[in-house]
Structure 1
Amino acid sequence: MAGYPFGETIVRLRRGPSPGRDERGQPIPGALTETPVAGVVVVPRQAAPDVGGQQQQARDTVIVGFTVYDPTHADWRTTDQVRIRGAVCEITGEPGDWGRSPFTGTRGPVQFAADRVTG
């Protein structure tokens, strides 16, 4: 399926296999592959601080990341990162496939949460 006509382009960041281990025995990160994925819908995901908690002082909500809807069904993995609007995000949880509509037979998008990488 093609992407949404007015969707945006995001970039999947995926590490290849480790070429070996460093002097301490830790795996060396594999080469990074960047793959643009066009025609996706990106919506901000927000979280409200706990009522009465210290985080709530002078705040309403905090944008914690994005929810992505990908009708192209690109191969998303929990180990991937994604660049959305210039921000590098981690995929949080397992990407979910909406499957096929029992009414129209059309296939829905793959949906996943992407949290901003900080620190």
Structure 2
Amino acid sequence: MPAPYPFGETVRILRTGPSPGRDPRGQPLPGPDLSFDISGCVVTPREQTPTVGGSEQQARDTVIVGWTVYAPAGVDIRTTDRVRIRGVVCEITGEPGDWGRNPFTGLRGPVQFAADRVTG
């Protein structure tokens, strides 16, 4: 399937597969790497930033770097995934949104998700 946005970016979804068992101390072993690239994504800066002195900044300095990503229709994005955008690893924030089918054209819309890196 060709990328829907010919000048879009490639982002990498970082996904760990199910744990194959537990170590001798009872801790889950990491599952296999199931990461994959998604090409043709639109990556935009996040529209909102935390309010200075708001709950996100109580008792520490917080810097949030984030993007909104519009991925091709039908892409499997999970809230447990992480994503590498422009070399920065981010957490998927919230539930990815599938725009569904456009009632005027019949075409599927993008899958939209928020990606944030929080430090501090």
**TM-score normalised by structure 2 residue count:** 0.80
What value does the CA root-mean-square deviation take over the aligned residues? 2.1
Q: How many equivalent residue pairs?
A: 111
SS at match of 2:34: strand
Q: Does 1:47 align with 2:55?
A: no
Change in Cα spacing, 1:63 to 1:43, as seen in structure 2 (3 Å) is: farther
Q: In structure 1, what is the equivalent of residue 2 of structure 2?
A: 2
CA distance in 1, matches of 2:101, 2:2: 15
TM-score (norm 1): 0.81
Task: Give 5+ residue unaligned stretches, structure 1.
Answer: 56-61
Preserved CA contact (<8 Å) 2:11 2:39: yes
> Greater strand percent: which structure?
1
- CA drift of 1:117 comes to 5.3
The amino acid that maps onto 2:85 is I
Alignment of 1:1-119 (within 5 A): 2-3=2-3, 4-45=5-46, 46-50=48-52, 53=53, 63-116=64-117, 118=119
Q: Which moved more, 1:80-89 or 1:24-33?
A: 24-33
For residue 88 of structure 2, what is the amino acid of its counterpart?
Answer: A
